[in-house]
Amino acid sequence: MIEVRHLTRRFEGTLALDDVSFEVHPGEIVALLGPNGAGKTTASRIIGGILAPSEGDVLVDGISVRKDANAVRARCGFVTDQPSLYERMPLRAYLAFFARLYDVAQPDIRAAELAKLLGLDDVLGRKLATFSRGMRQKVAIARALVHDPPVLLLDEPATALDPEMSQMLRGFIVSLRARHRAILLTTHDLDEAQRIADRLVVLYKGKVLRTGATADIRAAGRPSYTVTFAGDPAIARDALARAGIDTESASARDGLTALRFAADDPAVVNPAALRALLDAGLRVVTLAAEERSLEDAYLSILAEARR
Amino acid sequence: MKWWLIAWREIRWEVFLDRASLLRTGVFVVIPLFFVVSNRGIPAGAAGDATLIGLALQSVFFPALSGVALIAATFSAEKENGTLVPLLAAPIRDFDIVLGKLVGMVVPVMVACTVTLAAGYGLAAYRYGLPRVAHALSPELLYAVLVLSLLYLVTTGSVTMIVAARVKTSRAAQQIAGLVIALSAVLFAGLGFFASQLGEGWPLLGLGVGLVLADVIALEVARRVWQREEVIGRV
């Protein structure tokens, strides 16, 4: 549905995107991650036909953004981090205005449908200036859906939303995936990405650092393990160090102590760690693989790139 | 016709609901009417005709000046508030956005110009007598004055749009619009005097041709400068 092909974009001599390629398929949520200035917003604006690429191309539903940007815009729904609404307009008039811009057949009916879908049907006649932050973001989403687009470009849609609204928004995005939409989610919220994204694209200084399934990216890198035991942590550290295993403290409960260590070859390192601790007279309670968070994986990818 | 959707939205929801711009336009409408009322008298002959023509020109150009500020405000406010991004994301040509916004500002200002001219004509007829005023201000001349004000508005509006596309804040755009207003007020005072001195309608025609040329150039420059690349780069 979205094919980004060798996309490059320059702004007055600055390289914002450098040979970026990835795809988003129907019924899939792809999260575009990266630090500030990585080129995420530029990428989503080019995909949505708002900006032109300097080199490369984007195909949306098979249509080149270079050849027919208007047709691409007609197939994309765009949500920005700031709702950016016309404050003086009431909700019904606002949504109907955008429905008309997108050539929707019955703009007023569509406005009412969308308001109902997002739980705003009781405020259709109210001016947007009076809406709360959460309601405003809902309006921005309704605006993006006004023409029922097959592609959704969500640029930090949950910024400044409270946890309840964020959860509702996540549920809504997932429901759109179930309706076979191709969704590109630009976000800094790694928890959000971990929860709903099927695949990730990590950008850094305009280049794609890593792309792949969310689970694969989380699992990549050195696996780490936590051993929990009763006894003196200094003795445990000493015993493990003698076995060639570097450790760091981890959180533990019930009066136990926990140490974390990385293992390139768990089949060799884990038995060695157990043996060292038991030989030192410590009572080992658990030895478990640590589930790596997306944040850990993301930070290690960035650290690797900076090196 | 998407430009008309944009224009109508501007007129319905921005111009008529913006108290500050309504107040400003109101002030610019009242000033020329005050000139008509406060004028001590109209001499007989060509000098009196020139005075009446001058008052008619002021009746349309003062409200037109408020339009320049209005155009500056609408463009820079859209950029500042980020409301331009959803518009640029919609399947609309850049030209439709530019034209829609320009028309959305020009139509209400032209209504203000026409109302002021009609009110000024009525007040002048009441004070100096209808035959005297009708002699100096023929229907053709009134029409020419309105056309001139429209051309003036489109020209300065285009120039202001160029400025609004380049600057980052509404404040900066308003300051530059103020400069355009001041300069054009001086210019048109001079042009009005020049036109009234020559009479016979030819200076007005010449002025019109000059403004049409300026219009074409200004709109072309506005279209080139006001590209989504430029605007988005500064949003």
pLDDT tens, position by position, A172-183: 899 999 999 999
Cα A89 to Cα B228: distance, rounded to the nearest angstrom: 24
Considering only residues 31 to 70 of chain A, which have any Cβ-Cβ distance to chain B shorter than 8 Å? 45, 48-52, 70
Say yes or no: A85 contacts chain B, CB-CB below 8 A.
yes
Q: How many Cβ atoms are within 10 Å of B213's Cβ, its own excluded?
A: 12
DSSP string, B73-129: HHHHHHHHHTTHHHHHHSS--HHHHHHHHHHHHHHHHHHHHHHHHHHHHHHHHHHH-
| Partners of residue A60 in chain B, C-beta under 8 Å | none
Cα B101 to Cα B67: distance, rounded to the nearest angstrom: 12
ipTM of the complex: 0.79
pLDDT along chain A (307 residues), means of 10: 93 88 95 92 92 93 93 93 90 97 95 92 94 91 93 88 84 91 92 91 92 85 84 90 88 84 86 92 88 82 82
DSSP state of B42: -
Minimum distance, in Å, between the CA of residue A164 and any CA atom of chain B: 26
Facing B89 at nearest CB: one of A11, A50, A89: A50
For residue range A22-69, what is the model confidence (pLDDT) as tens digits?
999 999 999 999 999 899 999 999 999 988 899 999 999 999 999 999
| Residue in A closest to B14 by C-alpha | A88
| Residue in B closest to A84 by C-alpha | B83
pLDDT in tens, chain B (235 residues): 899 999 999 999 988 888 887 888 888 889 889 888 887 777 777 888 888 888 888 888 888 887 777 777 777 777 778 888 899 899 998 888 888 888 888 899 899 999 999 999 999 999 888 988 888 888 888 888 888 888 888 877 777 777 776 666 667 766 776 777 677 667 766 666 665 665 555 666 676 677 677 767 766 666 666 566 555 544 4
| Partners of residue B91 in chain A, C-beta under 8 Å | 70-71, 73-74, 101-103
Helix (H, G, I), strand (E, B) or coil at A57: strand
Chain B interface, best mutation among A61, A73, A95, A101, by max B CB count within 10 A: A101
| Residue B214 and residue B155 in contact, taking contact as beta carbons nearer than 8 Å | yes
Global confidence as pTM = 0.80
Say yes or no: A172 contacts chain B, CB-CB below 8 A.
no
What pLDDT was estimated at residue A92?
A: 96
Residue A267, classified by CB atoms within 10 Å of its CB into exposed (0-12), middle (13-18) or buried (19+), is exposed
